[in-house]
Amino acid sequence: MRLLHTMLRVGNLEESLRFYCDVLGMKLLRQKDYPEGKFTLAFVGYGDESDHTVLELTYNWGVEKYELGNAYGHIAIGVDDIYATCDRIKKLGAKVVREPGPMKHGSTVIAFVEDPDGYKVELIHLGTQGSNVKKETESNCVTQ
């Protein structure tokens, strides 16, 4: 088994594609309208779906806003230079809602940005993550 994609409902597909592709550097992998269902699916990511987990952006025609609720947390993206990445994101007009720095109670360097619908995207400075993570055993995610 492998994780294929995460789906986010978006209120403006063009704005979301600009954010994920132009700001975060993903590629539009495929997009299809479903006129009978009145929705459009767009898949974006950093590599082909056969090898990478991607995001499915779902635009339900005529729905411009969603209640995000309190169960959703964030998606996470690893970056080589979190400070330069955040500077570039701000210059492109996107919102950095937590500046880069160590996470509370840990040493992983993180930042948070927000997409046009208010979804949080965590940026993780590669090489700083995972110092406090317990390893999983090979049987059904049980930790020792």
Q: Which residues are catalytic?
A: 122
> Which residue type, as a one-letter code, is found at position 81?
D
DSSP letters, 106-119, are S--EEEEEE-TTS-
Alpha-carbon torsion, ordered 108, 69, 4, 97, to 10 deg? -40
CA angle 75, 81, 87 (to 5 degrees): 85
Question: Which residue's structure tokens are 């959703």?
Answer: 72
CB atoms near residue 21 (< 10 Å): 14
Where do the H-state alpha helices sit in 7-97? 13-17, 82-91
